[in-house]
Every structure is written in C-alpha cells, then in structure tokens.
Chains A and B, each alone.
Chain A
C-alpha cells in the first residue's frame, strides 16, 4: 500500500470515528436528559414541598416570602398530628412482625411440601394480592360492622396484616425455592436436630429476605391509606390525618412541614436498610435483594 492510500484511510477512519463519537455523545446526552426528567417527575414535587415548608406564608404559591421554621414548631405543638403519627408507628410495629411470622409460615408451608391442598392454600394466600385494596377496605368495614366489632386501630391492623403478609410469603418463598437443600441434609447428617437446622442454617440464609420483607411491610403499613381509611374508628393514622386536613383547609403549611419530616425519616431508614443489605450480601454471598423486592 502506498503512503498516500494509508494516509487517506487514516483520515477516513478518523472521520468515521468522530461521527460515531458524536452520535454516541448525543445518545448519552439524550439519556441523561431523560433520566433527569424522570428524576424531576418523581422527586420534584417533593422537593417543592420541602422548599415551601420553610416558606413564611400561608399561601402555598410563589413568590417565596421568607425563611421560617414556624410550621415545624406548629407540628410539635399540634396534638392531633403527634397522635396520628404515634398511631401509625404503633400499628406498623405490630403489623410487621405478625406479617413476617405469618408470611414465613405460609412460605414454608407452600414451597417445601407437596400435598393435595397445596394449590388451594397457595391460591388463598395469593388472593389478597389480586383484590384491590379499596375492596379489602370496604369489605373489612362491612365485616366488622356485621360482627358488631367497633372500628379502631385494631381493625386497621388486622386488615393490614391480611393484605400484606402474602407479599412477605412471595418474597420468602422466592428465596426458599432457591435454597440448597443439601445444606440442610448436611446439617442433619452432622447431628443437628430439626430445630437446630432451622436456627443455624435456614434462618441465617433467608435472613436477607426476611429483612427486606420487614422493611417493606413496615413502610407499607405506615403509608397505607385506603384500607386504613375504611376500617378506622375515631383514632386516625398519619395518612388519614393528612387527608382530612387537606380536605378541610385547602393548603395548610403544617402539612408541608410534617411531610418533609416524615419523608426525611423514610429516606434515612431506607438508605440504612440498603447499606445493611449490602453488608449482609457480602457475608452470605447471596445475590442482590432488589430482584426479590421486585418479584
């Protein structure tokens, strides 16, 4: 090949490279813009909320008036909010362990054994996931009234448990299905009783799934509105409080403040959970949890 031909080739190559590179850059730019847009859609409203929670004005509209923390002070002096928050937390703290226990029992019962009633039981456990929460709420209300059971935090809790433990079952069952049973056989062979197998082998290895379920259940319970709304008595939960406040006064800045606080706490908790799950993964050599959260 002559030197000229080689030169021409190099030039041509470089031009092709440049245009490909331009195209790639354009593609990346488009992608980044898209992701930023999605981020704005998902988090933008929340950020606005945070901004307005410090805004010195009853009206939630631009222009911004000035910085103040009085709405936060209002939060702490309003007994209704505190009460509602307390109730939400109490319910979540009770509902979560119950869901974990029931969910895990069902998961083991369905995925580990073969028996005639297995399909109907699995169907029953899966049913609450298919029925819309609105109907579970309405059904709960009618059910309790029929039985002359007064509505209260208890009725909220019960209906929440029924709605959410099937999801725990799904998460834990997914983990159990992938469980290497030869590990359990090895443990028994080495002298472990059934109980010891559970304690030293099974539970530690499904712990990440249990933890993920716990966080999910707690979060869901605290956030739940529809079901709680229908089965609530005189005591309200946090979402119910927000709803009624919003319906009685159009914009109440106190809602901004408390919302910011709650959101902040949720973010912190979830981030902590994320870090913990990464640490656990490293220890047990398990695959990522997020596919499990997804199902």
Chain B
C-alpha cells in the first residue's frame, strides 16, 4: 500500500519546460543563424574566391589575403585609420570623463534633463549631423569666417575640411554621447562623498581625478571603448563626407573594393581581417574590464 509516487510528475514538468524554452528561443535563433551567421559565412567563403573581370571565379586559396597584406595602400589606409581612431578616442575620453563626472556629481536639479539632451543628441540622424559639420568646417564655413572676422587668421584653414583632422573632429562629436553614458553610469554607482572626503584630506582637483575618479570610472571607460572604438575604426560615412583623400579609412577602402571595383574576393578578405580584429579587440577589452564589469552589473540595479 505504500506506493511511492513515481518520478513522472517531475519528468512531466521538465519536458513541459523544455517545450517552453524551445518556443521562446527558436525564432530568434533561426533568424540569427540564417541572416547573421549566413552572411558572415558567405563573407568568409567569398574571401577564398577569385573575382576577375570575368566574374565569379574559382577557389583561390589564400591569394586574396596575400594580395591584401602585400598591398601598400592597404597598410597606408590602415595606418591612417588607426591614427584617426586612436586620436579621436583620446580626444573623446578627454571630454567624456569630465562631462560624465559633472553630470553624475555636480548637477543635481537638471541631471535628468541634461542626460536626456545628451541621449537626444545621439538619436538624431548621423547624416544630418555630419553634413552640418561639413558646413561648419568648410573654407567658407562658419568657423573659418568667424576666425577671419575676429582677425585671428588671415586665410581660411583649408585643412579643417577633407582631412584627417576633419574626421577626428566630427567623429569625436558624433560618438561623444555614446562614450559618456557608460562612464556616467559607472560613476553613478560611486558614492560622491568619496570625492568630498578626498578634497577634505587635501587632494587638489588633478589628484582627485587621477587617484579616485579615473579608477572608479574605469569599468565605464572599458565599456565606452568597446562601444566606440570599433565603430570608429570601421567608420565609412564620416570619412566619405568630410575625409577627402587624406582621410580615407579602411571602411572606405572596403566599400571601394565591394561596390566600385567589384573585387569581392579582396573586399571580403579585408572585411574578414577586420572582423577578426574587432572580435579580438572586444574580447581583450572585455577581459581587461571584466572585474569592473562585475561591479557595474551588481550596481546597475539602480
């Protein structure tokens, strides 16, 4: 009479669960597999094919990669890209850190509104923003004419537009909001009385920054790097509109191969190399900021 209830109900609920998991996860996974993994796979696949004037060719091994890596223009463009991206990143951080800290600690009443303005700036159409900068930076643009008007320069600064500098300036402005927000979030998790305590103990502004603010903002900085650097590196729109010939970046080079010269083999090889670089970069940044990430995760439950 002591019949022990067999395992059935437990098993029933487990397969019932499995059904629900499948229901939720199938469609997103399938969509991703087909339309994300698919294109990436095709990209990789195409990088091993030869594309001549005759059209799609056959398997050509690592020839495309060889061609890319021995192309002097490629290295030139890569170097330009690296310079622009790194300088822009630094410039951005120089402004983002103080901006984030002012927002996080110093403005009480208007904090949400200012934050909203920051987010809003990022939601506006990037084409409009870049175009607006183009107007500003031109030889007859506002900046030049104002500087001439003020008597600070005699001739318009040509290199403000269609140059590396232009790309740096525009991209810094473009990505500033995205860079600031993660740092702001990291700082929000910090107790402001820490800065006050440091002040009280005699630390000047610069020291406070160096010893307290930057380490505490570190996790946010890593997130900012992840969110911004790779998009910066692979930028295509901005250099196309304001970069001219000297601000020609790897994104433009790839576009040229793919859309202009039809050299899909080389284009995909370049793309694939860029892909590997992106993944590695994000991986490293993620690792480096990992300890910080745990902190932000636990404290972002604001």
| Touch A–B, Cβ below 8 Å | yes
Interface, chain A (partner B; CB < 8 A):
31, 34-35, 38-39, 41-46, 48-49, 52, 59-62, 102-103, 105-106, 108-110, 112-113, 115, 121, 124-125, 127-128, 130-136, 138-143, 146, 158-159, 161-162, 165, 169, 174, 178, 219, 222-223, 225-226, 230, 238-239, 242-243, 246-247, 251, 255, 259, 262-263, 266-267, 270, 274, 287-288, 290-291, 293-294
CB distance from A219 to the nearest CB of B (A): 5
The residues of B that contact A293 with a CB separation of less than 8 Å are 119
The residues of B that contact A124 with a CB separation of less than 8 Å are 29, 32-33, 36-37
Provide the main secondary structure of the chain A interface: helix
Assess A135 versus B275: contact at CB under 8 Å? Given A45-B135, A146-B42. yes
Q: Is the CB of B127 within 8 A of A225?
A: yes
The residues of B that contact A219 with a CB separation of less than 8 Å are 123
Q: Is the CB of A102 within 8 A of B31?
A: yes
Q: Is the CB of A288 within 8 A of B131?
A: no
Extra pairs beyond A143-B42, A290-B116 (7, CB < 8 Å): A35-B107, A60-B138, A127-B36, A142-B42, A223-B125, A246-B131, A255-B131
Closest to A225 in B: B237
The answer to whether the Cβ of B168 comes within 8 Å of any Cβ in the partner chain is no
The residues of B that contact A225 with a CB separation of less than 8 Å are 126-127, 237
The residues of A that contact B240 with a CB separation of less than 8 Å are 243, 247
Q: Is the CB of B231 within 8 A of A60?
A: no
Within 8 A of A (CB), among B17-56: 17-18, 20-21, 24-25, 27-29, 31-33, 35-40, 42-43, 46
The residues of B that contact A62 with a CB separation of less than 8 Å are 140, 142, 145
Query: How many of chain B's residues touch chain A, expressed as a range?
Result: 35 or more
CB distance from A107 to the nearest CB of B (A): 9
CB distance from A84 to the nearest CB of B (A): 11
Closest to B301 in A: A178
The residues of A that contact B188 with a CB separation of less than 8 Å are 291
CB distance from A249 to the nearest CB of B (A): 12
CB distance from A65 to the nearest CB of B (A): 13
The residues of B that contact A259 with a CB separation of less than 8 Å are 125, 127-128, 131-132
User: Bound state CA distance, A98 and B51, in angstroms?
Assistant: 36
Identify which of A105, A113, A139 contacts B40 (C-beta below 8 A): A139
Q: Is the CB of B231 within 8 A of A263?
A: no
Interface, chain B (partner A; CB < 8 A):
17-18, 20-21, 24-25, 27-29, 31-33, 35-40, 42-43, 46, 95, 98-99, 102, 106-107, 112, 114-121, 123-129, 131-136, 138, 140-142, 145, 173, 176-177, 181-182, 184-185, 188, 230-231, 233-234, 236-237, 240-241, 251, 254, 258-259, 264, 267-268, 271, 274-275, 278-279, 282, 300-302
The residues of B that contact A125 with a CB separation of less than 8 Å are 28-29, 32
Most buried by A among B20, B21, B176: B21
The residues of A that contact B302 with a CB separation of less than 8 Å are 287-288, 291
Q: Is the CB of A291 within 8 A of B32?
A: no
Q: Is the CB of A138 within 8 A of B120?
A: no
User: Bound state CA distance, A41 and B169, in angstroms?
Assistant: 10
Q: Is the CB of B39 within 8 A of A34?
A: no
CB distance from B11 to the nearest CB of A (A): 15
Q: Is the CB of A41 within 8 A of B300?
A: no
Identify which of B42, B116, B132 contacts A274 (C-beta below 8 A): B116
Q: List 27 A-B contacts (CB under 8 A).
A: A31-B106, A34-B102, A42-B117, A45-B132, A46-B129, A110-B25, A124-B36, A128-B36, A130-B279, A130-B282, A131-B40, A131-B279, A132-B230, A132-B278, A134-B254, A134-B271, A135-B275, A136-B36, A138-B254, A142-B264, A161-B31, A178-B301, A223-B123, A223-B125, A243-B240, A270-B123, A290-B112
